[in-house]
Structure formats: C-alpha cells, structure tokens
Amino acid sequence: MSVRVDGKKSDEVPQGPKWLSGLARIAKGPRPEKVPAVVGTVAALVGLLNIASGVVPRFRLSRAHTFAEVLPGTVTQLAAAGSIIVGILLLMLAHGLKRAKKRAWQAAVLLLPLGAAAQLIYRHNRPGAVLSILLFIYLLRHKKSFAALPDPRSRWKWVANLILMGGVSFVLGWIIVGAHPDQMVGDPSVLEQIEHVVWGLFGFEGSIRYTDHVDYTVGYSLGALGLVTVATTAYLAFRPEYPAAVLTDADEDKLRELLDKHGARDSLGHFALRRDKSVVFSPSGKAAVSYRVVSGVMLASGDPIGDVEAWPGAIEQFMELAKKHSWTPAVNGCSETGGEVWTRETGLDALEMGDEAIVDVADFSLSGRSMRNVRQMVKRIERNGYTTKVRRVGDLSAEELETVQKAANAWRDTEEERGFSMALGRIGDPKDLDAIIATAHRDPEEGEEAPFGDLKAMQHYVPWGKDGSSLELMRRDRSADPGMNELLIVAFLQAAPELGIKRMSLNFAFFRSALERGGKLGAGPVVRIQRAVLLFLSRWFQIESLYKFNEKFRPRWEPRFIVFPNSRDLPRIGFAMMQAEGFLELPRLLRRRPAAPKPSGLETHVGDPAEVTRAA
C-alpha cells in the first residue's frame, strides 16, 4: 500500500507521533535479551534498600523507605541484621540474574512466593506481596531468557555449605542465647530457646526477652551468624563459572599440528599449549582459540591458531560457548590482524594495549653507539669469569635439565607462579624438546654455597614457527652479578644463526607508545597525563622498566590489542587479566583455580635491579 508522507509517496505506513511509538515499546516491555538486565537491576535496587534500612537506622523513617514498602523483598519489621542478610542475598542473586543464569532464575522463582507469603503474614503489606507475585509471573513468562549454564563443580557445594554452616550457626546461636541466663525475662523452655535461635538466624525477633540491652547483643550476634551462612551459601550458588582446564592430549596434539603449519604467524601461538587453558576448534578443525575463564570472563590470548580463513569458524564457536555460559568474551594481546578479524566477526571493540618487542637476528649487532651500554655490560660480566651456553632442550643431559628445573623454581621470588598469555609454565617437557635454553655459568669461589653448581642464570625460549623463538622465562641467582639477562639475550642472538633462528620475540611493553610520546618535546597535556599515570603505576608493575629494558636491544615494535564487548566491561576484564597473569590473588577461601598440573617457571625477570614480567 502506498501513502503520502510529507508530500512524497511512500510504501510504508506512517508510525504516528514519537510519543505514541514510545508508549507502544513500553507496553511491549524490554526486548528478550534485555530481560535479565532489567530483572537484575530491580533485584539489586531492592537489595540496596534492604541494606540501607539495616545499616542506617534513620532510613527506616524516611520517605525512601516508605516507597520501598511496595517493592518485592523489602524488609520493615525485621531486625537490622535480617535486613542486611536479605539485602546481600538479593545483590548476589541480582548478579546471577543479570548474567541470565538458570540457577539464579530458579532461586528467584522459589524465593518470590515465599517473600510474598512472608509480607502478608508478618508485614500485612499487600502491595509488596502483589508485586512479588507479578515479578514471579514475569520470570515464569521469560524463562527462556535465563538459560546460562551453572557451574557444575559448585552444584552441591552450596548445599553442603548451607547444611554445615547452618548447623554450626545454630549450635553457636543456642550457646549465645543461653549465655545470659541472669538477663532473661522469665524461664523460657528449651523449645522456646530453639525457636528464638531459628528466628534470630533469619533476622526476626524471637519470643525471649532480655534486660540491660542484652536483646541487641543476642539479636545482632544471631543475625551475624545468619549473615555469614547466607553470604557464603549464596556465593557458592551464584559465583561465576570457572571450569577446570580441559586441554586433553588429543586437543594438544591437534594444536601442535596447527602450529607446525601456521605457527610462524603469531609469536604467542606456542603459549596456547599451556595445560591450564581450554580450547575450542572451528567446525573444520583448521583453526582454534585457546582460553581460560577467570571471574566470569572468557579470556582468549593472542591470535587464533591455524589457517586465517578458518579463524571465523573458531571465533564463532568461542562466542557461542561464551553466550551459552553467560561469560564475558575478551581477547588479551592479539595482533592487528587478529584484532581486525575479531572485531569484524563479533562486533566487539578493540583497544591498543602495548607493543611487542621483536629483534631480527640478521640486524642485531653489538657495535655502534646505541649498543654501547649493553656491550660494556656484557664485556664486564665476561671478564668476571662468566660463560654462556645456548642449546636445544633435547641436547641437555638429564642431570643438566634437572638442575635447570630446580634452579628455576628456587630462584622464583613469588609464592605463586605467574603468567597466562606469554608464558608456557613448564621446562623440559618431552613434547617441547625443540625449545631453547640459554644458561650462564661461573665456577663457585672457595667457601661459596653452590646448590646448583656453576649455574648462575637461565632463560627459556619456546618455538615461534620454524625459524623464530619467543622468550618465555628469565631466572637468575640473586648473588650473581647484575646484567645476567642482558648477557644471555646477547648470547642467544649470537648463537641464533647456528640454531636456524631468524627472529626473536623479546618482551611485551604495556602502553609503550604512550610512554614514548609523552616523553618527547612538544607532547600534549593528555599524552603527558597518560605518561604520568603509567610512571606512577610503574612503582608496582614496573611498566617503564620493562619498556627501557626492551629498548636496549633496538627492537621493532608490533602493536598488541585487547578486544572487549563494551567500555563498561573493561574494569572487569582488566581485573580478570591481572588475576590470570598472577598479579592479583583472591583470598584463599574465594580463590578458584583450574585443576591443572602445577607449572614450573612462569615468572619472567628482566632488568637489573628492577624485576618485571613478560606479561605486564
């Protein structure tokens, strides 16, 4: 049908005023993909109101609390501790609802009718009960929107925690209730004491009364026990999935076949063989993406492995798996080509995060003024009696390899191993015999302790295609002379032609371009501020030290990118990246590690005396 709109012919029916179409959209409700976010936001708001009513006494008399009376799940005539418990539970549940978790939906569907009944029985709040039922119906109607799979490993942990913590809390609560017999009003029976404990754990006021304000002590103590039980149970029930690594021997063999054919494309390709990573393959099997899930972020590293034409298939499998589990997809350290493919195929965004230092063996020389400092340091160390050896791992004897492995572990200065995107996590594996080890030696002096003989420093390089190597690990004896790292890098580059190596990936410099531009004459205020921030962060992460160390060898710089869904996800992705690399550690009670063999040798030390890591 054709109609005239503004004097022109059109085949579309006019939609009417904008306000009318807006009302129509409101009437239809949010799009299906927006339902979890809406429900989660409402649950979070109600949770915050509950916490505020429990923490801030005056809030219970404010207009905001009067408005909160009609919201599902709000608490009025409960103890402050009970209000805080409900608030925390709703906040934890809100996170699961926003991530479209099926388990969170099940919990909400179970809790909302109970909440409605509680409001009618204890609060006589009909509007709140009605809204609870309406939200319950709304969740039932949009059941298909909450299909994200739960964590199979925590399926029974939250149940066990509820039973054990609940039992302990009940026993402690009973002791607390009976610990003040002189302040009890009357002589309550054992049944009344049990009833008082149960109501107190849920935040309600029991039937027992005390004198001298002991009511507050007992009430808040019981509420705190209930809070601990509910908080830990909710965390185990709704925490993001962090599955164990599933890099099977068959997967590793497939990855090695792809690396044999296409490994020269990306210097980070060999790090996909870390055994605490998982992998998804394209339908054709010609490409793969390695990843690890950290705090609900599905974090890939480097470019996809394999044929570039098959990359879209592997990326599609990666995104489907992320959607299935409601993980946030992200890529750490992909190349410019990889970033273009990721953004084109997924609609994600990309941000330059730094540069990789690559040294071409044919162009490297110690001569010239620019290499003066490195040349003088190497000559000084050699005069002090140090010698070097550069060999394939397969050329080391069993005793030499064992000594290197023990020394690498002993010289690690952190309790936890570090690394994810640019570290392999093992030395001397039978499948990695083509890796290269550079070692520095000096005969021990008389009376000097030498648990590893004359070994004073070591470096480990993994294959980068047929004619390249990537620096994976640097370790040295703290009693050795400064400059061991420079000595071994130079030794490697000088021995590289005999080993068939034409290029070497040295290190990754975080936000190198900002550091370089900010230090130049005429740099603008924004660039100067960026540089100042990076220099400040270098106190902890030594970003500048890593950049300056790499610059000594006059490398060429290749940009690396992070790929992410939205800018608001960057803080969460950054936190997950720092966890994966080992820079941030959660408390042991909250930490969740993939079940994988303990790596040996992830941390990389460069520069003297500053220590930094390859995965800055």
Full DSSP string of 395-450: GS-HHHHHHHHHHHHHT--SSS---SSS----SS-GGGTT-EEEEEE-PPPTT---
For the record, the structure tokens of 570 come out as 């960057």
Residue 605 lies in a domain: no
| pLDDT score, position 238 | 63
Residues 340 and 277 in one domain: yes
Domain count within the chain: 4
Residues 100 and 186 in one domain: no
The enclosing domain of 400 has a CATH number of: 3.40.630.30
Residue 371 lies in a domain: yes
Q: Are 420 and 615 in contact (CB under 8 A)?
A: yes
Strand partners, 460: 437, 473
Q: Are 267 and 250 in contact (CB under 8 A)?
A: no
| pLDDT score, position 603 | 34
| pLDDT score, position 205 | 75
| pLDDT score, position 46 | 60
Mean pLDDT of each 10-residue bin along the chain, 616 residues long = 41 43 44 66 63 50 51 42 57 71 75 62 56 75 71 64 84 82 83 86 79 76 80 70 67 93 92 89 94 88 93 94 87 93 93 90 90 92 93 93 91 65 84 93 82 92 94 90 92 95 88 72 72 74 77 91 90 86 54 41 35 38
Residue 257 CB contacts under 8 Å (≥ 6 apart), including other chains: none
CA dist., res. 203 & res. 220, Å (int): 9
State the sign of the Cα–Cα–Cα–Cα dihedral 162, 111, 51, 203. Answer: negative
Residues 415 and 472 in one domain: yes
Residues 372 and 470 in one domain: yes
| pLDDT score, position 24 | 43
Residues 273 and 157 in one domain: no
Closest CA to 405 of 447, 448, 439, 367: 439
Residue 609 lies in a domain: no
Q: Are 327 and 241 in contact (CB under 8 A)?
A: yes
Residues 86 and 165 in one domain: no
| pLDDT score, position 267 | 92
State the sign of the Cα–Cα–Cα–Cα dihedral 175, 176, 179, 182. Answer: negative
Residues 367 and 489 in one domain: yes
Name the residue with tokens 């909710």.
Answer: 234
CA dist., res. 163 & res. 229, Å (int): 9
Residues 371 and 328 in one domain: no
Closest CA to 403 of 449, 442, 445, 454: 454
Domain with 422, as residue range(s), is 360-507
Q: Are 534 and 515 in contact (CB under 8 A)?
A: yes
Which tens digit of pLDDT belongs to each residue from 483-514? 999 999 999 999 999 999 999 998 887 777 77
Residues 429 and 320 in one domain: no
Alpha-carbon dihedral angle through residues 100, 104, 110, 115, given to the nearest 10 degrees: -100
Residues 413 and 376 in one domain: yes
The enclosing domain of 302 has a CATH number of: 3.40.630
Q: Which one-letter DSSP state was computed for residue 604? A: B
> How many other C-beta atoms can be found within 10 angstroms of the C-beta atom of residue 280?
23
Closest CA to 582 of 608, 607, 613: 613
Which tens digit of pLDDT belongs to each residue from 387-413? 999 999 999 999 999 999 999 888 876
Residue 594 lies in a domain: no
Residue 65 CB contacts under 8 Å (≥ 6 apart), including other chains: 49, 53, 59, 76
